[in-house]
Amino acid sequence: MNAKLQQIAEHHAAAQKALQAGQLRAAHQHCLAILRMDTSFADAWFLCGIIAAHNGQVAKAIEILEKSVELAPQNPEYRTELGKQRLVLEQPERALQEADRALALNPGALPVLNTLGTLFSHTGEHGKALRCFDKAEYILQKRPQQARGMPRAWQAAFYFNQAVSLQFAGRLDAAENAYEKAIQLQPQMFKAHSALSTLRRQTPENNHLERLNALRSEVADARDQLHLGHAIAKELEDLGQYREAFASLEWAKQAQAATAGYSVEAEARHFAAIMQRFNRESIRASRTGCDNPEPIFIVGMPRTGTTLVEQILSGHSQVFAAGELQNFPLQVRRATGAGHGELFDIESLGRSLDINLPALGAAYIDSTRPRTGHTPRFIDKLPLNFLLLGLIHMVLPNAKLVCLRRDPMDTCLSNFRQLFAIDFKPYHYNYNLLDCGRYFMLFDRLMQHWAEVMPGAVHEVSYEALVADPQQVTRELLHYCDLPWEEQCLDVHRRTASVATPSAVQVKQQIYRTSIGRWRQYGDAMQPLYELLRSAGYYQ
């Protein structure tokens, strides 16, 4: 080896070691030294991209990673990392393209398979995610020399990621086994405990309460407390101990509520601004839009039956369920130049009235490809798109808009009981039961507003009516969607497709009525919420 190659090898080894130790500046200096000697050394570009991503310079990281891919297009690790950073930059369609290219290169390294599986999972491709996770698990079990090189914390995170995809795919026994492996490797992985508790109904003979209660002293921060408290509450509820379950929910959310700093007054201003901007005049003034008839938007408060309706419609031969897409609000942000930020930012929504609406609609449709387009209709089931219904109707006038409605008390309790994505600000109202009630009232008023300013545009489905008479309500729904009747729409419990939602476990069952009136089981704990809603006219 000549002197130059020797120097490059030494700098490369030093850069990798420094990066592993978290010494980003030193790692960067070694990479620059390599590139001064050889600008075609792909791994130096790759490591620089990793460093930029660690420093929060995502756009710069993508630019650098593209250079590494250009130099070494057959390296699946480079394409996987590029896809990961594109996802961070809210480019899911381009992230999926890179993930597909990486998978086609048949990766075999454990870290790459784990990252790639997670990338597929976040883009809704759970079948491909499981291909990656299953391959990695085989390597862990059959090639112990490779497994020994992976830290316990990494292995625990891997089994958690695998379990999430297994849960979405409806393979609940396998998911339970994977969560248990994660917990065995890392007993304080509280998010694994909370996920595990939801997989089945716990019984007096078979539950995790002793283990969960023993972990109370191990809680280190608000997130730990949130996950642990939710897990305990779920298992107590399964055992019929509703008073104790409610107390655990309140304990779970205390610290995180303080961290989130949710303001119902700010929320109310947000809703008011939407109604002011998207009024009767502005909607009537819109004469153009993208005429594509494919999308069916299913919206509503979370935990009100949106996933059940998605599963009913996706049973139709002409419909594909694309999942909870963030594509529409992301396209709004891009079209208005808002860049990276809050998904439902009111400023970008206001500016959306001044942009090219047909172009926005076309950009949205294009962003869903290639997952969509192979059936006449596809479902976009992001519940909070109810905030955007006015704009969606203007941009895609031929799209179908379906909103779920459920009893106010059951709606609020179901939201309070749910452990949503912790960092997703629009769900921070659910840290307090009364805030759930106040949010419901804002939602209800906004839906009344949409009915007033664009009458007939939104088809509302009552959850209670749906579970009482599934066939009649489904017939009405299909008629609204201009779809012929197909009997298999009602066979939701026989579906094998993945369900990327907190309701993934429930929708694998037959349509059931047991969740109607659930709030009454919690007794006096629900009285303050009832009084709040009664004073607003929801109950007599």
CATH number assigned to the domain comprising residue 464: 3.40.50.300
pLDDT (0 to 100) of residue 502? 47
User: Is residue 129 in some structural domain?
Assistant: no
Q: Which residues contact 173 (CB under 8 A, 6 or more apart)?
A: none
User: Is residue 448 in some structural domain?
Assistant: yes
Overall average pLDDT of the 281-308 stretch: 93
User: Is residue 259 in some structural domain?
Assistant: no
User: Is residue 119 in some structural domain?
Assistant: no
User: Is residue 91 in some structural domain?
Assistant: no
Q: Is the peptide bond before 370 cis (omega within 30 degrees of 0)?
A: yes
């704009």: which residue's tokens? 391
Residue 413: pLDDT band with limits 50, 70, 90: very high
pLDDT (0 to 100) of residue 349? 80
Selection from 505, 469, 462 nearest residue 490 by Cα = 469
Q: In whole angstroms, give the CA distance from residue 134 to residue 148.
A: 18
What secondary structure does DSSP assign to 488-512, as a single string?
GGG-GGG--S---STTTTGGGSPP-
**pLDDT surpasses 60 at 206:** yes
């490797």: which residue's tokens? 185
**pLDDT surpasses 60 at 188:** yes
By the 10 Å C-beta count (0-12 exposed, 13-18 middle, 19+ buried), 423 is classed as exposed
Overall average pLDDT of the 28-36 stretch: 95
**pLDDT surpasses 50 at 539:** yes
The mean of the pLDDT values for the chain is 93
pLDDT (0 to 100) of residue 148? 80
User: Is residue 519 in some structural domain?
Assistant: yes
> pLDDT tens digits, residue range 475-486?
999 999 999 999
Overall average pLDDT of the 264-283 stretch: 95
User: Is residue 454 in some structural domain?
Assistant: yes
Share of the chain above pLDDT 90, in %: 85
User: Is residue 299 in some structural domain?
Assistant: yes
Overall average pLDDT of the 282-292 stretch: 88
- Which domain, by its residues, includes 421? 286-535
Domain count, the chain: 1
Overall average pLDDT of the 213-229 stretch: 97
Q: Are 225 and 252 in contact (CB under 8 A)?
A: yes
> pLDDT tens digits, residue range 488-516?
999 987 765 555 454 445 544 557 677 78
Overall average pLDDT of the 226-235 stretch: 98
Q: Are strands 377-380 and 458-462 parallel, antiparallel or unpaired?
A: unpaired
pLDDT (0 to 100) of residue 220? 95
**pLDDT surpasses 90 at 245:** yes
Task: Supply 223's token pair.
Answer: 């997130």
Q: In whole angstroms, give the CA distance from residue 212 to residue 153.
A: 20
Q: Are 196 and 208 in contact (CB under 8 A)?
A: yes
Selection from 190, 210, 304 nearest residue 255 by Cα = 190
> pLDDT tens digits, residue range 147-166?
788 999 999 999 999 999 99
Residue 96: pLDDT band with limits 50, 70, 90: very high
